[in-house]
């Protein structure tokens, strides 16, 4: 069994995964464990402990609670990872997700602020927090989870946040390449996921918001060539590929994973 494990494309790598309690982050943790990674699972929800426990015994997995919408949370998560493993080879930033669905003029200022805080800042803070140790070791890979919703309806603040993730990816890739650091991203399309154990927001506020959300779903499916949502596994596998040495000559790239919808 150990020999099979040694074939994993993340064998021996210390991989930090944010948003690991559910959704794409959780699936990435599972796939990375199958690929022999040592894992640091980060989330602000206590369910992250259960995710760590569910991984195979052969996966060296630890977990830590942190609110990555704050710099202090990101700094603490990185410090914990370095205490546990002395290095971070890969940082996968999977925290984010639209909270409300509505035309832009129906977002009040507090909602706009909340969307940016949720879907841009955790990636910005984590990237900044993990960079010094990667520079010191002269190697590292950052994989950001963006979205094809940069071209989509009823989610303008979220779209703006993900556009920020794309720009962070390309600009930092240019800056960090000389230090042996790759910075890449995937842009997931619509993804089927089980009911969220930790809700993203208050839920649709009545029939009007239900209708706005349905418009998002319809537009997302219509924009794909495959005319369907993807699975969590279909999102996680490309992320793990980009994190691995198989992608060693790829940096600054945002890979659309949206059934043919390229986003923008």
**Residues assigned a catalytic role:** 158
CA distances from 159 to 30, 134, 151, 196, 248 (A): 28, 29, 7, 21, 29
Q: What is the DSSP letter of 105?
A: G
Residue 93 pairs in a beta bridge with 144
Give yes or no for a contact between 236 and 30, defined as CB atoms under 8 angstroms apart. yes
- DSSP letter string, 17-76: EESTTSHHHHHHHHHHHHTT-EEEEEESSTHHHHHHHHS-TTS-EEEEE--TTSHHHHHH
Give yes or no for a contact between 67 and 118, defined as CB atoms under 8 angstroms apart. no
Among 74, 220, 78, smallest CA distance to 158 is for 220
Torsions phi, psi for 171 (to 5 deg): -70, -45
* Count of beta carbons in the 10 Å neighbourhood of residue 123: 29
């Amino acid at each position: 069994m150990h020999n099979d494990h040694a074939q994993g494309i993340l064998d021996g790598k210390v991989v930090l995964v944010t948003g690991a309690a559910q959704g794409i982050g959780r699936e990435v943790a599972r796939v990375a464990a199958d690929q022999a990674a040592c894992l640091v699972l980060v989330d602000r929800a206590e369910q992250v402990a259960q995710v760590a426990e569910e991984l195979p015994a052969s996966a060296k997995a630890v977990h830590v609670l942190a609110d990555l919408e704050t710099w202090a949370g990101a700094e603490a998560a990185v410090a914990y990872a370095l205490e546990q493993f002395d290095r971070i080879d890969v940082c996968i930033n999977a925290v984010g997700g639209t909270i409300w669905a509505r035309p832009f003029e129906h977002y009040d200022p507090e909602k706009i602020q909340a969307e940016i805080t949720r879907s841009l800042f955790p990636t910005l803070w984590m990237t900044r927090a993990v960079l010094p140790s990667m520079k010191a070791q002269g190697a590292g890979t950052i994989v950001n989870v963006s979205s094809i919703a940069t071209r989509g309806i009823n989610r303008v603040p979220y779209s703006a946040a993900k556009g920020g993730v794309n720009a962070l990816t390309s600009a930092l890739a240019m800056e960090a390449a000389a230090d042996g650091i790759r910075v890449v991203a995937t842009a997931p399309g619509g993804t089927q996921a089980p009911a969220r154990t930790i809700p993203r927001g208050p839920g649709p506020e009545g029939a009007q918001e239900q209708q706005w959300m349905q418009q998002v779903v319809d537009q997302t499916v219509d924009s794909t060539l495959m005319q369907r949502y993807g699975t969590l596994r279909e999102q996680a596998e490309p992320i793990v590929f980009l994190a691995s040495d198989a992608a060693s000559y790829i940096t600054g790239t945002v890979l659309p994973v949206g059934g043919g919808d390229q986003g923008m």
